[in-house]
Amino acid sequence: MSAAPPPAAPGAGADASAGPACDAGPDAGAGADLVGLADLVELVVGDPAAGGGCVARAPDGRVVFVRHSLPGERVVARVTGETAHYLRADAVEVRTASPERVAPPCPAAGPGGCGGCDYQHVALDAQRRLKGRLVEVQLERLGGLRRQVEVEALPGSPDGLGWRTRVRFAADRAGNLGLHRHRSHELVPLGSCPLAAPEVAALDVVGRRWPGARHVEVLAVDTPDAPSALVTVDAPRPLPRSTLPRLGAGVGLTVAGRSRHGAGHVVATAGGRRYVVSAGAFWQVHRAAADALVAAVLDLLDPRPGEHVADLYAGVGLFSVPLGAAVGPRGKVIAVERHRAASADLVTNTALLPAVEVRVGAVEPSSVLDGDRLDLVVLDPPRAGAGTAVMAALDARRPRAVAYVACDPASFARDARVLLDAGWSLAALRAFDAFPMTEHVELVALLVPPGALHEAGR
């Protein structure tokens, strides 16, 4: 097995033709027949790759991204996709198993099953090591950083199950709910999802029919004395009330953008504060993630009374609220959010904080360059990242610190590279296992401008 770093899966920020992590020998591919779609092939699997699989070499020399496998295993894999340069495959038989392999807790996990979980066949500690390695590779390849990454467990899901407070199901034409197969529009019917939090599972939306729906999303949080569950139905048109399941008191129901029953929001908590979260607005899916991220951002930034802060991609105000409290009435927090429902919640959630000014619109370089003072910045962009122009504007303003919250290591590494190339330093990096059983991880990074590393004290 080669010691080369694992390539990312196509679309994950690296060239799929990069050298594989396992060595098929100097004659690999020489005179070999091409491996085609649905073929079975025996492989020795190498390092993990972004996309939920591991890397191997096909007999014809092409890189293979093998889902449902583990480093060091010998497997029989069925080819599920192909290009001129690489193949995708599912391990359908394990001939030499890794000691870190376990039985998946969900019968829908595995080849041909639900595409939502990448690592149900991997012991939890090993999942976190794989994720840490993937982050390290992205940081080095795309950010030019060599850094050891330890992925921290979050409380509340010691077995990696029951943590999702938000689950989005797809509906078939008859209104039955399920989840998609990997890289497919085909639905896998489910009796339940073991990743769903108990509050979500208790609503039993998959046990009901939703005729006319395209998707049904459940958001349920444990907040005493407040609306705590919301079902949002995505449908091309309003549905007759007679076709909608009865969900009981205290459960909000929104259909095609219109509230049909109960409140059109839930009240979630983080850091001891309450937040209104409406249908369509984003909230962290792991039941412990919001608390952990707020604590990490505040600890790294150490906001001080009177400081000026930009909270970019502010959402419903997860960070704006504690930042507004920290800087006090002499300080200022500019909270920028473009999503209509989220920005309305942001206004509600910060209404009692005079330091917070909400700006509804997209995050652009002007969001950073506007104003006469900027001490701190929080960036919590969508998966695509903030982009070069916004990062360059941050460099031009030179705040004393930037906290970057990222759900995609590749996008973070590309964005961070803009500042690193300008002399900034990565003063701290934490990684949280906010998505057990999947390859995904949540990062919180502290970036400081040239000459400021000693001030960060980290």
How far is 393 from 399, CA to CA, in rounded Å? 11
Burial class of residue 348 (count of CB atoms within 10 Å of its CB; 0-12, 13-18, 19+) = middle
22 part of the active site: no
Residues 6+ apart with CB under 8 A from 272: none
Inter-axis angle of helices 320-327 and 340-349, nearest 10: 30
Q: Dihedral of the CA atoms 275, 280, 283, 285 (nearest 10)?
A: 140
How far is 295 from 18, CA to CA, in rounded Å? 38
**Pairing state between β 425-432 and 442-448:** antiparallel
Q: Which of 22, 54, 117, 407 is catalytic?
A: 407
Q: Which residues are catalytic?
A: 407
